[in-house]
Amino acid sequence: MFNPFVIENSILLMLTFALFALKAVAFVDATTRQPQVFPAADRQTKKFWLLILGLFLVEHMIFWNVLGLLSLIGTIAALVYVLDVRPTVKSLTT
């Protein structure tokens, strides 16, 4: 018998792992960058990004719900870091 909830649960589980990986990669990348490069790139400080990305990474590990408001905010923060801050900071360090 076809159970649509199995498909829904599988999709949510894959999305949960993918967003966790995104947040973890963003946090680890932020830890490897030099602190003085962030203000030079006209971005927030390294401490700011570590605090934001770290808090939302821990939130994701505790609640493990991709549809929650905090998880969505954390996903947006990680996307902003990966798509905007990381390339700018990386271009100044190489």
pLDDT in tens, 13-53: 999 999 999 999 999 999 999 999 999 999 999 999 999 99
Treating both helix axes as pointing N-terminal to C-terminal, what angle do 69-80 and 46-63 enclose, rounded to 10 degrees? 140
Nearest to 38 by CA among 46, 30, 28, 26: 46
In this prediction, residue 1 carries a pLDDT of 80
The pTM assigned to this predicted structure is 0.92
Which token pair is 41?
């790139």
Residue with tokens 């966790």: 20
Q: Cβ neighbours of residue 21 under 8 Å, at least 6 residues apart?
A: none
Q: What angle do CA 86, 88, 90 make, to 5 degrees?
A: 65
Domain boundaries, the chain: 4-93
